[in-house]
Amino acid sequence: MNATGIGAAVKRKEDFRFLTGQGTYTDDINRPGQAYAYILRSPLAHANIKNIDTTAAKAADGVLAVFIGDDMAADGVGGIPCGWGVNNKDGSAMAEPAHPALAQGKVRYVGDQVAIVIAETYTQAKDAAETISVDYEELPAVINMEAALAGGPLVHDDAPGNMSYDWGLGDLDAVNEGFKNATQVSKIDIVNNRLIPNAMEPRAGIGEYDTATGEYTLYTTTQNPHVIRLLMGAFVLNIPEHKLRIVSPDVGGGFGSKIFHYAEEAILTWAAGKIQRPIKWTAERSDAFISDAHGRDHITHAELAMDADGKFLALKVSTKANMGAYLSTFATSVPTYLYGTLLAGVYSTPAVYVEVKSVFTNTVPVDAYRGAGRPEASYLLERLVDRAARETGHSQVDLRRKNFIPNDAFPYQTPVALAYDSGDYNASLDEALKRADVVGFEARKAESERNGKRRGLGYSTYIEACGIAPSAVAGALGARAGLYESANVRVHPTGSVTVYTGSHSTGQGHETAFAQLVSDTLGVSLESVDIVHGDTNKVQFGMGTYGSRSLAVGGEALMKALNKITDKAGKIAAHCLEASEADIEFKDGQFSVAGTDKSMAFSDVALTAYVPHNFPHETLEPGLEENAFYDPANFTFPGGCHICEVEIDPDTGTVSVENFVAVDDVGRVINPMIVEGQVHGGVAQGIGQALLEGCIYDESGQLTTGSFMDYTMPRADNIPNMDVGNTVTLCAHNSLGVKGCGEVGAIGSPPAVINAIVDSLWGLGVRDIAMPATPQKIWQAIATAQTSQAAE
Amino acid sequence: MPITVSMTVNGKAVTGEIEPRTLLVQFIRENLKLTGTHVGCDTSQCGACVVHIDGTSVKSCTTLAVQVDGADVHTIESLADGDTLHPMQEAFRENHGLQCGFCTPGMVMSAVDLVKENPDPSEQEIREWLEGNLCRCTGYHNIVKSIKAGAAAMRG
């Protein structure tokens, strides 16, 4: 193994600048002549706007301009588009109401953009915004999904019944047949709690217009600059690509929340053209809570049919998914193609049917958050399997093993569209059982009970689909974009290398992992490789980072370009060494002629490429630079087993996570240190969802968890140390064999935690605990169970 | 009505004409253009803005610039010696104690102060000390590991 190549836990190239305060995040950038913006947001969840009086604001100190929705409409600015069309069961298109960047006539959630105030300083803009008088006619708001579907106030006049779509997937007849043949059926009703992503860097942007060139530039906190350029340029502002540059420098975490095209991006870019000065806006955390897309928010009923032996026969799932007030960029795909298609899980259930109703409410739009649909699927399935094991008298391990897709079944076609390429679910379960010392659990449990505590063990054997995705499949399923990735490798004359990738890092360490691929392939040092991302004027094209796709799709594009480089370099070496191309071998950065001592270093080949004094120019071009686009053949399917052990104090309801074991199969590991770090972070977010985090709206649509003082973010003393391991089955359809590791932690962990709590309290009569499982809920559940047992 | 503040920041005397309501973090980021200190919230919860004032870690988002008139302020930019990282920074690098880097300056500044007060903190003491610093990327596992290692390195 090359010491800095594939599989090496090399330290990250990006860390020096981050550790010394020299990272460049969007808010760190200041442009000459820059003005500042404040976005005035709706304080009401649902209201008609009768009038907006901006007279005083426009006259206030330092104010340069104030714009409202009418101003954008007058300029013909389009609405914020949704990137994925989903059809109803009957084949008709979903309801897709208009989404103006600045509200036009109506506000639909607390946080909806009403006006932009632009001034010489931020405080001037903010102060002036307070003088804007908006005459709201308050309307009844609908917050709860059940109420929205049951004739609640309409969020959009053109979305009857507050539904965007009523979608279904699977063979309902086969499922019904399965239930007819069943001897045992387990049922569950669960809620996947609404979350607020809360990347530590708040969103920010600087819009800029160059009067000399007619070029717009937007600096923005995004995970996918080219996607923003496409969506905003083509659908909102009508700016052609060559006149629109999107720069996304260092990004302080995203977790999905920075995928989407946000209204502020369009407002800033458009307004910069209007006032012909750069305009900077940075969200305060309070803005972030009411304007960053939220995550999850499902209500589900599911039933699992089994035969007498515990073999799964059929699964039937009915889900309501909250869209919030508008369809955010990928919102529609999350509860359908990223959720329904995962409901076979790691099991060979022959028939699965899922239906999903997506619901408009007067809340912040909901979209992808770390895992996006797949955590909801694994939470549902693993809670249901846990219950089925308890109800049928199987152990958690036995029921799972009995139903695992066996190793010899791959490639495995599920009944819900996906075809898994590889996996070994027993291997990750076995490894997790060992690490979690499950054998010793009963003794630990007895010890806890001697101390008046309850102890429980929870399992989750999950799968996810990553590396989004083959364009053909995504297109057939309604995606309005291709989902490939591109890479350009530029070898400089002295042999150093710059890579331009369409993937973008929000902290995952691409500058290191991608450089390792280069080091491994070309035999050059890590220091001689730079990875460039996040600027549409530098990078040829890209679809960005989400769905754990960077390595599986972007990395593969890079490998494709690197292979073109070694092909070309081999031709040059053959020419220089006066050998046949077929006799050229390349190893450890040296081209050599097989069976001779003639060789040439990669850096010498690079130099020759740019100093081609004696090239046969009709067959060999100068230069050493290659471009590649890679469109995967399939999704990748990471999976694994998480085991959580908790101890609960029944007197207070407090949970202590005593041990958390995560054994994931993410395919080949390029940098084990980075992979482990990704799992840690994902698990922490999953434990956060399970124990701490919950977004709460009151009946009028006010977000009551609108700050870090009200929304419980996991802190250092809430999260345990984690035991992270891995097993490996290679992805069968990409050259690296990689599957993706960004989301496994958040997908596998919540059911493990809740199953552990249920396990610890089952004996007390507790059958369910809703997330987040706060001490109050646990104490209440114990009290209720004991009261009802006493009554019996 | 602007007022004048003067202080020492990273060993250099600085003076600024500011609005009285200017927060220390605004003064550092906007007037001094030292952008290593970050703002991650508006309720003094996240700790991305931690700096040292007269040797003690303080959230610069909850401190008015005028309050520290005359003080000795150190930000993340002052910690390394050129290309040589401070032992705590080196420990974060070595132990993958950072991902996106946004909370990192606050974490490191906070950790350095912890070790000054408690040269050999236990895991539990580290976790409790960090209750004022949020990280969304790392799950804290490697941050705790980094601070343990950094403390050992600082003890020498």
CATH number of the domain encompassing residue B116: 1.10.150.120
CB within 8 Å: A507 and B137: yes
Residue B133 lies in a domain: yes
- The 8-class DSSP code of residue A11 comes to P
How many independent structural domains does chain B possess?
2
Query: Who among A19, A202, A683 is closest to B93 (CB)?
Result: A19
CB within 8 Å: B131 and A708: no
Instruction: Give the position of tokens 């995967």.
Output: A632
Q: Are A345 and A152 in contact (CB under 8 A)?
A: no
The verdict on B8 and B28 lying in the same domain is yes
- Nearest chain B Cα distance for residue A520, angstroms: 22
Scanning A577-611, the segments in alpha helix (DSSP H) are 602-610
Q: What is the ipTM of this complex?
A: 0.99
The verdict on B98 and B143 lying in the same domain is yes
Helix A672-687 to helix B141-155 angle (10° resolution) is 120
Supply the pLDDT for residue A479.
86
Residue B81 lies in a domain: no
Tell me which residue range forms the domain holding B98: 87-155
The verdict on B23 and B72 lying in the same domain is yes
Query: Who among B46, B99, B124 is closest to A681 (CB)?
Result: B99
Supply the pLDDT for residue A791.
80
CB within 8 Å: A15 and B99: no
CB within 8 Å: B45 and A709: yes
The verdict on B71 and B106 lying in the same domain is no
The verdict on B13 and B69 lying in the same domain is yes
Among B18, B45, B76, where does a domain finish? B76
Q: Are B87 and A239 in contact (CB under 8 A)?
A: no
pLDDT at residue A577 above 60? yes
pLDDT at residue B156 above 90? no
The CATH number that applies at residue B26 is 3.10.20.30
Supply the pLDDT for residue A727.
98
Mean residue pLDDT of chain B comes to 97
Supply the pLDDT for residue A651.
96
pLDDT band of A52, cuts 50, 70, 90: very high
Classified by CATH at the fold level, domain A484-630 comes out as Aldehyde Oxidoreductase; domain 4 (3.30.365)
Q: Does A715 touch chain B (CB under 8 A)?
A: yes
pLDDT for A143-172, tens place per residue?
A: 999 999 999 999 999 999 999 999 999 999
Q: Does A761 touch chain B (CB under 8 A)?
A: no
Q: What residues in A contact B133, CB-CB < 8 Å? A: 716
Q: Do the bridges between strand A298-306 and strand A63-68 make them parallel or antiparallel, or are there none, so unpaired?
A: unpaired
The helix, strand and coil proportions of chain B, stated in percent and rounded to the nearest 5, come to 40, 20, 40
> Is the CATH number of domain A418-463+636-792 3.30.365.10?
yes
d(CA A567, CA A561): 10
Mean residue pLDDT of chain A comes to 97
Q: Which among A19, A25, A221, A659 is the top mutation candidate for probing chain B, defined by the most B β-carbons within 10 Å of its own β-carbon?
A: A19
- Nearest chain B Cα distance for residue A205, angstroms: 15
Q: What residues in B contact A15, CB-CB < 8 Å? A: 92-93, 98, 101
Q: Does A28 touch chain B (CB under 8 A)?
A: yes
Size of interface A-B (CB pairs under 8 A): 180
Sign of the four-CA dihedral A233, A238, A241, A243: negative
pLDDT for A446-484, tens place per residue?
A: 999 999 999 999 999 999 999 887 888 888 888 888 889
**DSSP sequence for A242-259:** GGEEEE--B----TTTTT
Beta strands in A557-613 (DSSP E): 584-587, 590-593, 599-601
CB within 8 Å: B85 and A673: no
Q: What residues in A contact B134, CB-CB < 8 Å? A: 200, 708, 713, 715
Find the closest chain B residue to A20 by CA distance. Answer: B77
Does the N-terminal peptide bond of residue A770 adopt cis geometry, omega within 30 degrees of 0? no
Query: Who among B103, B126, B139 is closest to A719 (CB)?
Result: B139
Find the closest chain B residue to A253 by CA distance. Answer: B100
From the number of C-beta atoms within 10 Å of its C-beta (0-12, 13-18, 19+), residue A3 rates as exposed
CB within 8 Å: A15 and B21: no
- Nearest chain A Cα distance for residue B76, angstroms: 6
Q: What residues in B contact A681, CB-CB < 8 Å? A: 99, 136-139
Q: Where in chain A is the domain with CATH 3.30.365.10?
A: 418-463+636-792, 484-630
Supply the pLDDT for residue A480.
85
From A646, A648, A755, A662, select the one nearest A388 (Cα to Cα): A755
pLDDT at residue B112 above 70? yes
Scanning A577-666, the segments in alpha helix (DSSP H) are 602-610
pLDDT at residue A1 above 70? no
Q: Does A716 touch chain B (CB under 8 A)?
A: yes
CB within 8 Å: B43 and A285: yes
**What average pLDDT does range A202-213 have in this prediction?**
98
- Nearest chain B Cα distance for residue A296, angstroms: 17
**What average pLDDT does range A309-332 have in this prediction?**
98
CB within 8 Å: A709 and B43: yes
CB within 8 Å: B143 and A716: yes
**What average pLDDT does range A735-760 have in this prediction?**
97
**What average pLDDT does range A647-672 have in this prediction?**
98
From A477, A472, A471, A467, select the one nearest A340 (Cα to Cα): A477
- Nearest chain B Cα distance for residue A34, angstroms: 13
Query: Who among B79, B94, B103 is closest to A11 (CB)?
Result: B94
Supply the pLDDT for residue B25.
98
From the number of C-beta atoms within 10 Å of its C-beta (0-12, 13-18, 19+), residue A775 rates as middle
**What average pLDDT does range A386-409 have in this prediction?**
98
Residue B52 lies in a domain: yes
d(CA A620, CA A573): 11
pLDDT at residue A274 above 90? yes
CB within 8 Å: B35 and A286: no
